[in-house]
Amino acid sequence: MPHTPPDGDGSIRYLEYRDGSVGRVSGAVIEERPVCIFVNGRELATLLCTPSDLEDLAVGFAFTEGLIDGIDDIEVMSVSAGLTCVDLWLRDRVVEPPTRRIITSGCGGGVTFDDTATMLARHKRLGLGMTVAPSQVSRLMREVLRSAALYNTARGVHTSALSDGASVVLVAQDVGRHNTIDRLAGRALRTGLATEGAIVLTSGRISSEMLAKAAGMRAPVVISRTCPTSLAVELAQAWNVTLVGYARGTGFRVYAAPERIGPPTPQPGPRSLAGAAEWPVVSGSA
């Protein structure tokens, strides 16, 4: 299986206005290209994405859309020389790509094949299994943002990561926030990294399909630097996924399954917070 180049940024010349003056400078911009994914010879989807590490993106997309259960379901995978197509041939040649597509709410040409009822039926409720300290939420999000090399170079890109609770173990970046979750799933499958019980962190908004992708990886905690949508909150409650938003600085908000967030360290003063079950929402700096 060929490996696509890791770079996703390119340099262009542009005019920059600053402090009353103008100059022509060169700078990096994030690369965006349409990439077709074919399964068993039929087109599954065309994704607008950052054209790097396309194997991870294709495998992850096939997994989160329910076409494969694992990497062993893929017999042959190839990426075109121009980085415009990825062909997946499954061991089960009877599997056909779904024909009904739902355009998602995200940038980067997001697409999914599941309506809400199908999403709800596909994933089971997750057990408790872990507790995350409030300090972990803030520390891990800072670590994710520090790891966002492409964002720090070119901006205009989303970053997502997998954590084992102690540290960030996998980082993915793309122009499309949905693509970053697919990339995490694909890389984890291709490298044998277990995702069950992992924490998913992302810089982008958590929509329903983003939440569904994380639930498909059996990740019980999803943390975003910004807000979730109402449907994402409903799905998180149904699947018992701890959904954290606005994780900025030392504050955050818990929208679903707060039991996994441990109580904060008591501070001197007239107030104390007893336990996670009694504080479903924690407001922080936005």
Q: Which domains does the chain have, with CATH numbers?
A: 134-278 (3.40.140.10)
Residue 56: band (very low, low, confident or very high) from pLDDT cuts 50, 70, 90? very high
Cβ(141)–Cβ(284) under 8 Å? no
Q: By percentage, how much of the chain surpasses pLDDT 90?
A: 63
Both structure tokens of 219: 């990740």
| pLDDT tens by residue, 223-281 | 999 999 999 999 999 999 999 999 999 999 999 999 999 986 554 443 333 333 333 33
Does pLDDT of 163 surpass 80? Answer: yes
Lowest mean pLDDT among 29-33, 89-93, 99-103, 195-199: 99-103
Does pLDDT of 283 surpass 60? Answer: no
Residue 11: band (very low, low, confident or very high) from pLDDT cuts 50, 70, 90? confident
Q: Which residues are catalytic?
A: 107
pLDDT of res. 109: 47
Cβ(58)–Cβ(74) under 8 Å? no
b/e 97-136 (16+ beta carbons within 10 angstroms → b): beeeeeebbbbbbbbbbbeeeebeeebeebeeeeebebeb
Give the relative orientation of helices 177-191 and 54-64 as an angle to the nearest 10 degrees.
100
pLDDT of res. 166: 92
> What φ, ψ does residue 61 adopt, rounded to 5°?
-65, -45
Cβ(217)–Cβ(198) under 8 Å? yes
Cβ(110)–Cβ(209) under 8 Å? yes
> What pTM did the predictor assign?
0.81
Q: Which residue has the higher pLDDT, 215 or 147?
A: 215
Nearest to 2 by CA among 52, 61, 60, 71: 52
**What does the CA dihedral 95, 96, 102, 104 come to, rounded to 10 degrees?**
60
pLDDT of res. 230: 96
pLDDT of res. 147: 83
pLDDT of res. 152: 61
Nearest to 16 by CA among 7, 4, 29: 29
| pLDDT tens by residue, 196-223 | 999 999 999 999 999 999 999 999 999 9
Q: How far is CA 263 from CA 67, 245, 274, 278, in A?
A: 40, 17, 7, 9
Residue 36: band (very low, low, confident or very high) from pLDDT cuts 50, 70, 90? very high
- The mean pLDDT of 145-154, rounded to a whole number, is 71
Residue 2: band (very low, low, confident or very high) from pLDDT cuts 50, 70, 90? very low
- The mean pLDDT of 87-93, rounded to a whole number, is 94
pLDDT of res. 284: 37
Burial of 80 (0-12, 13-18, 19+ CB in 10 A): middle
Cβ(232)–Cβ(266) under 8 Å? no
E strands of 164-265, at which residues?
168-174, 199-202, 221-224, 242-248, 251-256
